[in-house]
Amino acid sequence: MNSASIKKLKEIVGENNVLDNPADLYVYGSDSSVHEARPNVVVRPQNTEQVQAIMRYANSERIPVIPRGSGSGMCGQVVPVRGGIVLDMKAMNRILEINPQDGYCRVEPGVVDDDLNKALKPYGVFYPPTPASSVVATVGGEIANNASGGRSVKYGAARDATLAVKVVLANGELLSFGSTTRVSASGYQLEKLMVGSEGTLAVIVEASLRFVPIPKLRCLGSAKFNKLSEAGDAIADIMGSGCQPSMLELIDKIAIIAVNKANNLGLPEVEAILLYEADGMAKEMIDVEIGKIQDICKKHKGFDLESSYEAKERARIWAGRAKLFPSLSKYDESLASTSLADDMAVPFSKMAECADKIHEIADKYGLVMTAYGHCGAGCMHTKILMDTDKEISWENARSAVSEIYDFVRSVGGTTSAEHGIGMSKAAAFKKEKAASLELMRAIKKAFDPNNILNPGKLMDGPDDWVEETTLRYQSS
Amino acid sequence: MNSASIKKLKEIVGENNVLDNPADLYVYGSDSSVHEARPNVVVRPQNTEQVQAIMRYANSERIPVIPRGSGSGMCGQVVPVRGGIVLDMKAMNRILEINPQDGYCRVEPGVVDDDLNKALKPYGVFYPPTPASSVVATVGGEIANNASGGRSVKYGAARDATLAVKVVLANGELLSFGSTTRVSASGYQLEKLMVGSEGTLAVIVEASLRFVPIPKLRCLGSAKFNKLSEAGDAIADIMGSGCQPSMLELIDKIAIIAVNKANNLGLPEVEAILLYEADGMAKEMIDVEIGKIQDICKKHKGFDLESSYEAKERARIWAGRAKLFPSLSKYDESLASTSLADDMAVPFSKMAECADKIHEIADKYGLVMTAYGHCGAGCMHTKILMDTDKEISWENARSAVSEIYDFVRSVGGTTSAEHGIGMSKAAAFKKEKAASLELMRAIKKAFDPNNILNPGKLMDGPDDWVEETTLRYQSS
């Protein structure tokens, strides 16, 4: 890219919406992952026509374009590894329509999840995928990553909520996929293909999203376990029993210790805590669900069972989980919390085995690793706590991550539950989907013949993220 | 195709599994649509390896292959318009795994829907898409068509239930898409792309399907209306109210008359009947739902409200809907019931307007048309009752169908709710998706470079089904 390119982009979006000073390029060079790179320029389109013009220009000049929301992705999805244009979609953040009778809303991709839910609240409905990062995460990014969150066990993921999208292709064409109707059997589900495509196929400029009624009541409970395997057996039994919890969360001992250290919460440092929530319109129904879940916990030696409908009590029970993510960095002052092998999906019946395996592998490589997550969705989160200044830490992390993913595949799991693939998980993803990579590349070529959209990700991501990407933490 | 081809196919699947006598070719030349054609041969693979061998051979010889379940599709999806091999998948009908703890089952594509649900019942769960044709419809056909049924309003369609598939590509390669885990954010959702692809991208040889708990209780109710628009307003209000009916069905006067004539049911011949069902684990909850639905019906001048939890009473209330489909042929002895414009999806708030429009267009062209369907899913079904011996009937039907689809698009609806596109709806589909047809063709090419898989359907279907296809009914 040269100054003529910058000039052309300024003509399209206006002077103020093109950033190319070093500080901005630094900020837009990373997301919430371990990777970094440097774009040539950041462009902030204000409307669809501008996105089309940018894409037409970039395509004619073969300039990479990386669509980006808030950069809360954890796997390097929006790190511009081949330079080019970071397309900051946050200015396109209008809520275009809320249609309670027809059960959907229509939004621009830059709308922040929490803002959308605030706007939906007066209608008595909510948009369910809602990841933990909902205070910053944009709807466009959630769709691109097939995001979900704590309540996906009952309410589904971005793939379920996304009814229709408008997208701009690499060549600037504007297309509509899907239908806002409740069902549709009109051929190829290109709207679903966009979900999880991580900006590699087209730029999402509008989305029609399904919403669901806000439940009147929620009841949150917890149970403690002296063995991780007992908590795991409880999870499998709960999910196999016909119960429909609205949340089911696992927290392991390392996570509890971290939360206690960071917040003086004084949680008992047992091997595992299960948190469970049931919601609905009628208390009788919720009582039945919570009762069944607690019976199953007791059967598997769960103790200190408690539950409450009261907001204050629920906040107390939830406090450990709420503070978990920021607390992990405080487990040990010499260790940083890194998003590596941060999010796998495994069958419910393998959750405990998976958590045990993670600890075993951590011990083997001298790393500290947590195991927590939305176990009701088969979602296992970890963080690797390590001394990021030491090269050996990265080597050990690389080996540990690879072994964890080998295990996940061996039990019928998949590389990512809700955080996506990007670069950090590309190696594992490519192993999991080895036979289909050529087909994926052919599909990408159908959308983006010049490979300008977010190149170097997913099936074209690095086989070795330590050697082949620039790490944010690396001091050497 | 020549005798060498037949010989080769017999080598692959055995003598008994290759049919090429005229009677069989006649039977396999049509489905439940108005179209017919003649295949060169019918081949019945017994396992995946045979499917791979057939595809390798067909691909090398450029022979069209049309994967087929039970042929209950209504739009000509499995009519072999370019001859070739009809691949009858019904022999691959094993249930490979039922995994209650992990919430899925794994089946071959030829499993019949009802058989699967019988096998799931002891586990207290069911596979939800279940169309009205579930006694014959195969799971593979349901996935290929993105089928759904009466309870999709609460439980979703094939797209929601399909977690993972194994497919054989045109070149014989065996690939796995998706994951059996509850959520997955591992890149392109190729499993969702297979749903609704109508046999044009690959042959499904295995599917992992999500199931859900069977509710303990069901309550079915009905309300009558003197104006279709009042029923329509009730539908929109029910769906916008936060109610979650497990079924919501509309039946119009013509359908009621047909049912009465065929079965002497003595239903009052009002302008519209709404049927509504709520299900769940607790009666209190269901009572609340049914109460809310009935209040809304009353507000919109619904009368003769009744409801029951009792199986016998529910069967009585449901009797008219149960007998609707076969009854339509008996509305007038000189008229046949044809599946044309048989299935559109429209926003809930447009259901009544759509039904009125259908009747207006029917009157204009001297046709008899019903309006009924799963209105809780925005699904509007019609049949055209006409004298199929008269050429003018077909001309009128063609005009009527075209105008109906123009209307559906104008209110934000889509060409098919649950029956698929095939050939009958290709013209409307191509109008709806005009801007995306080239992209669809490029995607098909990525899967099937020689265009051997079910050619002449969807984006490559006929623009005029009267002139460009052979009609089963045509006497001239």
Task: Output the CA–CA distances (angstroms, integers) from residue A152 to A9, A121, A290, A376, B433, in the order listed.
Answer: 40, 19, 18, 8, 31
Question: Nearest Cα to B142, choosing from B91, B204, B99?
Answer: B204
Q: Give the mean pLDDT of B453-475.
A: 88
pLDDT of residue A299: 97
User: Which A residues 146-205 touch B at CB under 8 Å?
Assistant: 146-148, 152-153, 157, 159-160, 169, 173-177, 179-190, 192-193, 195-198, 201
| Calpha distance A37→A42 (Å, rounded) | 13
| Calpha distance A285→A283 (Å, rounded) | 5
- Residue of B320 and A32 predicted with greater confidence: A32
Q: CB–CB of B185 and A147 under 8 A? A: yes
The phi, psi pair for A83, rounded to 5°, reads 65, -150
**Cβ-based neighbours of A309, under 8 Å, separated by 6 or more:** A217, A218, A219, A283, A286
| Calpha distance A68→A74 (Å, rounded) | 13
pLDDT greater than 70 at residue A353: yes
pLDDT greater than 70 at residue A474: no
Closest Cβ–Cβ partner in A281, A347, A442 for B180: A347
Residue B177: list chain A partners with CB under 8 A.
436
pLDDT greater than 90 at residue A214: yes
Candidate from A10-24, A354-368, B22-36, B322-336 with smallest mean pLDDT: B322-336
pLDDT of residue B102: 93
Cα end-to-end distance, chain B, whole Å: 29
B122 touches chain A (CB under 8 A): no
| Calpha distance B157→A186 (Å, rounded) | 13
The phi, psi pair for A228, rounded to 5°, reads -60, -40
**Cβ-based neighbours of A239, under 8 Å, separated by 6 or more:** A248, A348, A376, B101, B102, B103
Closest Cβ–Cβ partner in A282, A377, A415 for B288: A282
| Calpha distance B268→A104 (Å, rounded) | 36
Contact A424, A465 (CB under 8 A): yes
| Calpha distance A422→A199 (Å, rounded) | 10
**Lateral strand order in the sheet of B368-369:** B336-338, B384-386, B368-369
Q: CB–CB of B197 and A187 under 8 A? A: yes
Q: Give the mean pLDDT of A133-138.
A: 95
pLDDT greater than 70 at residue B475: no
One-letter identity of residue A324: L
| Helices A283-299 & B283-299 angle (0-180, nearest 10) | 160
* pLDDT tens-digit series, residues B167-225: 999 999 999 999 999 999 999 999 999 999 999 999 999 999 999 999 999 999 999 99
Minimal C-alpha gap between A396 and chain B (Å): 24
Residue A339's pLDDT band (cuts 50, 70, 90): confident
Q: In chain A, which residue's Cα lies nearest the Cα of B350?
A: A102
Q: Which domains does chain A have, with CATH numbers?
A: 1-214 (3.30.465.10), 217-328 (3.30.70.2190), 330-460 (3.30.70.2740)
* pLDDT tens-digit series, residues B285-310: 899 899 999 999 999 999 999 999 99
- Residue of A437 and B469 predicted with greater confidence: A437
pLDDT greater than 60 at residue A298: yes
Compute how many other C-beta atoms are within 10 angstroms of the C-beta atom of residue B301.
15
Place of tokens 């060079």: A29
Q: CB–CB of A146 and B102 under 8 A? A: no
Q: CB–CB of B348 and A103 under 8 A? A: yes
* pLDDT tens-digit series, residues B223-262: 999 999 899 999 999 998 888 899 999 999 988 998 898 8
Residue B2's pLDDT band (cuts 50, 70, 90): confident
Interface test with A, best of B181, B351, B405, B453 (most A CBs within 10 A): B181
Residue percentage of chain A with pLDDT more than 90:
82
- Residue of A299 and A283 predicted with greater confidence: A299
User: Which A residues 47-86 touch B at CB under 8 Å?
Assistant: none
| Calpha distance A78→A140 (Å, rounded) | 12
**Cβ-based neighbours of B353, under 8 Å, separated by 6 or more:** B229, B232, B411
pLDDT of residue B474: 55
Residue A235: list chain B partners with CB under 8 A.
none
Output the pTM of the full model.
Answer: 0.96
* pLDDT tens-digit series, residues B89-108: 999 999 999 999 899 999 99
Beta bridge partners of A145: none
pLDDT of residue B304: 97
pLDDT greater than 50 at residue A476: no
State the sign of the Cα–Cα–Cα–Cα dihedral B219, B224, B228, B232: negative
User: Which B residues 250-309 touch A at CB under 8 Å?
Assistant: 280-282, 284-285, 288
Report long-range pairs for A24-31 (Cβ below 8 Å, ≥24 apart). Answer: A28/A68, A28/A71, A28/A80, A28/A86, A28/A88, A29/A79, A29/A80, A30/A71, A30/A79, A30/A472, A31/A68, A31/A71, A31/A72, A31/A73, A31/A74, A31/A76, A31/A77, A31/A78, A31/A79
pLDDT of residue B476: 43
* pLDDT tens-digit series, residues A318-337: 988 888 888 888 888 889 88
pLDDT greater than 50 at residue B83: yes
Size of interface A-B (CB pairs under 8 A): 287
